Amino acid sequence: MIETNFAFTSNGGKILLRNLDKQEAVFSSGFWRYQNPFNKETKIIRDKEFVIGEQLSIIEKNNFKYFHAKLVGKNCYGKYESNTEYIVANYGNNWAYGESLPSVRAFLGNKLFHLYKNILDEKILQQSVCKK
């Protein structure tokens, strides 16, 4: 017999539905599931959600800031911080992630290049006109 008065917890326990707020339980796969609280601050980067960790002590000429980050997963019990580690980079409001420092640096550099391409093209055009 299916128990409909309870919400199952991620550790196999049960909680009476009447003791939960509406947003604390979700009906998933034929059962009510208690949603584990997830109170960590997250950042969405390229459609993936991350918990940003501590800043890496890397100093470069490009002024990028690098951080440890963990991917946020989601299952029928709510969000959780996965064991998958990434490096994320920040420059102003622009963010990128990658598995290694070179990959995240390349992606953020490429993103910034396309973002500021018009400004670069204009500068190059001005310089070539000034030389003539």
- Per-residue pLDDT of 32-52, as tens digits, reads 999 999 999 999 999 999 999
For residue 74, the cross-strand partners are: 79
Instruction: Please state the rounded mean pLDDT for residues 107-132.
Output: 74
- For residue 103, give the H/E element and its range: helix 101-115
Of all residues in the chain, the percent with pLDDT exceeding 70 is: 90
Give the pLDDT confidence score for residue 77 in this predicted structure. Answer: 95
> Torsion over CA of 117, 118, 120 and 126, rounded to 10 degrees?
160
Burial of 47 (0-12, 13-18, 19+ CB in 10 A): exposed
Give the pLDDT confidence score for residue 130 in this predicted structure. Answer: 62
Q: What is the DSSP letter of 13?
A: -
At 82, the pLDDT band (50, 70, 90 cuts) reads: very high
Query: Is the distance from CB of 32 to CB of 6 less than 8 angstroms?
Result: yes
| Chain segment 92-115, per-residue pLDDT in tens | 899 999 999 999 999 898 888 888
Q: Can you say whether residue 116 is alpha, beta or left, with left for phi > 0 and alpha for psi between -120 and 50 degrees?
A: alpha
Q: Indicate the pTM of the whole model.
A: 0.75
Query: Is the distance from CB of 42 to CB of 73 less than 8 angstroms?
Result: no
- For residue 127, give the H/E element and its range: helix 117-131
- Residue linked to tokens 């029928």: 76
d(CA 45, CA 37): 22
At 58, the pLDDT band (50, 70, 90 cuts) reads: confident
Query: Is the distance from CB of 60 to CB of 101 less than 8 angstroms?
Result: no
At 118, the pLDDT band (50, 70, 90 cuts) reads: confident
